[in-house]
Amino acid sequence: DGGITQSPKYLFRKEGQNVTLSCEQNLNHDAMYWYRQDPGQGLRLIYYSQIVNDFQKGDIAEGYSVSREKKESFPLTVTSAQKNPTAFYLCASSLQERLNGYTFGSGTRLTVV
Amino acid sequence: GDSVTQMEGPVTLSEEAFLTINCTYTATGYPSLFWYVQYPGEGLQLLLKATKADDKGSNKGFEATYRKETTSFHLEKGSVQVSDSAVYFCALSGSGGYQKVTFGTGTKLQVIP
C-alpha cells in the first residue's frame, strides 16, 4: 500500500546538534510539506516543495533546512540555530490538492535534552 | 488571503450526544473544503471532503455540507462514541492554480462514557 513514512518516531537532540528527520512517500505525489505542531496548537508550515530540486520557505523556516533531490524524499534538518526545536513534526504530500487534500505521515516527536 | 476559523475547544460530550463543530472560511472563488482528524500521537487523517457548493461529505457517521452562502462547513455526528475523542481540523484548498491547503487551529473533542 502507498503511504508516507516518517522516521524516527521519537528523536532526542542535544543542545547545539543538527538532526535530520526523514520523510519518504511512494504515492507518486509531486508536492511535499513539513509542518510543526506544538502541544495544543495548530499546524505551522516550515517548508514545502512542489517539484524536485525546488522548495520554498513557509511561515517558520528559520533554523530549518530541507532538500528535494528525489521525488520520493523530503528530509528536514533541524539546525542548532533553531532555539526551541522541541515539537511534533509532520510531513505531508499531495497530488491535486483541490480534489484530495494532503496525505500525512505519522509524525516525529523531537525533544531537546 | 485564505483563512479558516474553527470554534474554540475543548468540546466535552457524553457518549451518544450530538456533535457540531463549527467551521467558517474566507477564500476567493470556490475552494474545496476538508475535515481532518488527529488521534493522540498520530498524524492527520482525511475524514471527509466537499469540492463544490451544496456537496455533502460523509464518512464514519460524520457529515459536513459545503454552504457557499454562509461560507461554512460545519462538522456533525448524530451519536458520538468514546473512540471519536481526537482533534478535528477544518481546512480548505483554494480554487486558483496551485494552492496549498490552509488549516484551522483545530478543535479538541473529548467524549466521556
**In this structure, are residues A23 and A41 in contact, taking their beta carbons and an 8 Å threshold?**
no
Query: A6: which chain B residues are within 8 Å (Cβ-Cβ)?
Result: 43
**What confidence category does residue A97 fall into, taking pLDDT thresholds of 50, 70 and 90?**
confident
Average pLDDT rounded to a whole number, residues A102-111: 96
**In this structure, are residues A69 and B68 in contact, taking their beta carbons and an 8 Å threshold?**
no
Residue A68 CB neighbours (<10 A): 19
**What would the pLDDT profile of B18-48 be if each residue is shown by its tens digit?**
999 999 999 988 899 999 999 999 999 999 9
Please state which of the ranges A16-20, A78-82, A93-97, A109-113 shows the lowest mean pLDDT.
Answer: A93-97
Cα-only R_g, chain B: 14
Q: Which chain A residue shows the shortest CA-CA distance from B51?
A: A99
> Between chains, do B49 and A101 touch, taking CB under 8 Å as contact?
yes
Sign of the alpha-carbon torsion through A113, A38, B46, B82: positive
**What would the pLDDT profile of B44-84 be if each residue is shown by its tens digit?**
999 999 999 999 999 999 999 999 999 999 999 999 999 99
Shortest alpha-carbon distance between residue B18 and chain A (Å): 24
E-strand ranges in chain A read 4-7, 10-13, 19-25, 31-37, 43-51, 54-57, 64-66, 76-78, 87-94, 103-104, 108-112
Query: B95: which chain A residues are within 8 Å (Cβ-Cβ)?
Result: 98
Shortest alpha-carbon distance between residue B72 and chain A (Å): 17
Q: What is the pLDDT of residue B97?
A: 58
Q: Does B90 touch chain A (CB under 8 A)?
A: no
Which residue in A40, A90, A97 is closest to B93 by CB distance?
A: A97
> Between chains, do A104 and B34 touch, taking CB under 8 Å as contact?
no
**What confidence category does residue A41 fall into, taking pLDDT thresholds of 50, 70 and 90?**
confident
> Between chains, do B106 and A45 touch, taking CB under 8 Å as contact?
no
Please state which of the ranges A35-39, B71-75, B83-87 shows the lowest mean pLDDT.
Answer: A35-39
Average pLDDT rounded to a whole number, residues B90-106: 83
Q: Which residues pair with B20 in a beta bridge?
A: B76
Q: What is the pLDDT of residue A83?
A: 86
Report how far residue B43's alpha carbon sits from residue A75's, in angstroms, rounded to the nearest whole number.
17
Q: What is the pLDDT of residue A39?
A: 84
